[in-house]
Amino acid sequence: MSALSFELAAATVQGREHARAGRNNQDAFWARASEHGLAAVVTDGCGSGAQSELGAQLGARRVVEGALSLLGRQVPVESPEFLQRLGADVLCFLQAISGELGERAIGEALLFTVVGAVVTPEHTLVFSAGDGLWALNGDVHRLGPFPNNAPPYLAYGLLKPGAVSLKANTLRPTAEVDSLLLGTDGVSDLVGLAEARVPEREEPVGPLSQFWSDGRYFSNPDALRRRLALLNRESVRADFPARRLERVPGLLSDDTTLVVLRRRQGRA
């Protein structure tokens, strides 16, 4: 990340309700830099899919690797062709998987939302397909919710060509970017918990801005994961008048995943 003067933090945590239901964390993230720029993405598998975590994990990697491949072939990130070709590349990849596993795999494993970014020395592009959240320089933008809690999944394009495409949310000069957060829809719930109390502690959860302003999340590669895990820890407290113990659930009902970039302090 140093070539672009950005540092990165990323983490995911299983949602409370997914844990109760015995379901895996269906979110994923991936980020990687190359000599041409960096790409990062968060994905969220469809909740009704039996193995949506598979598509989310494979899809996150494919989006990032596809984006870096396009940069390496000198496709300008500011050109509409960039997202068109990236979306086509991901669909081709998913088509190959469904060809091996059968068409049922589309609904069971390959439906996932995407919130991503590509950063080059000149431009920063934020894009998406489906719900989630992104925040640029402190300005928070929610994606969705969609009617009937049914976001548009990129893999719908396997059933109906052109049904869903990657959408450009913003294109900015990279020189103007100080911080960028990408989040699944669980992060939207986290925004509303700023005044809630951290389980087993007498401190508030705090605002979303902590994740790009607090240096500990970038100096310790595990700090962000630990923070999310702490917020979702089930605790037990004593109700002395009633002479009983009460279980207090974690704060994050849905899987919650975020990738955060911020400009290195003291560098252009």
Condensed to tens digits (0 to 9), the pLDDT of residues 132-187 reads: 999 999 999 999 999 988 899 999 999 999 999 999 999 999 999 999 999 999 99
Report the chain's terminal Cα–Cα distance, integer Å.
13
pLDDT at residue 238 above 70?
no
Q: What is the rounded CA–CA span in Å between residue 165 and residue 161? A: 10
Peptide bond just before 145 cis, omega within 30 deg = yes
Confidence of residue 3 (pLDDT cuts 50, 70, 90): low
Is 257:11 a contact under the CB 8 Å cutoff?
A: yes
Taking 80 as the threshold, does the pLDDT of residue 266 lie above it? no
pTM of the model: 0.93
* Banded model confidence at residue 30, pLDDT cuts 50, 70, 90: very high
Residue 245: band (very low, low, confident or very high) from pLDDT cuts 50, 70, 90: low
d(CA 112, CA 153): 6
The more confident residue out of 267 and 223 is 223
Confidence (pLDDT) at 1: 42
Within 8 A by CB and 6+ apart from 223, the residues are 9, 216, 217
Is the confidence at residue 268, as pLDDT, over 50?
no
Q: What is the mean pLDDT of residues 123-140?
A: 98
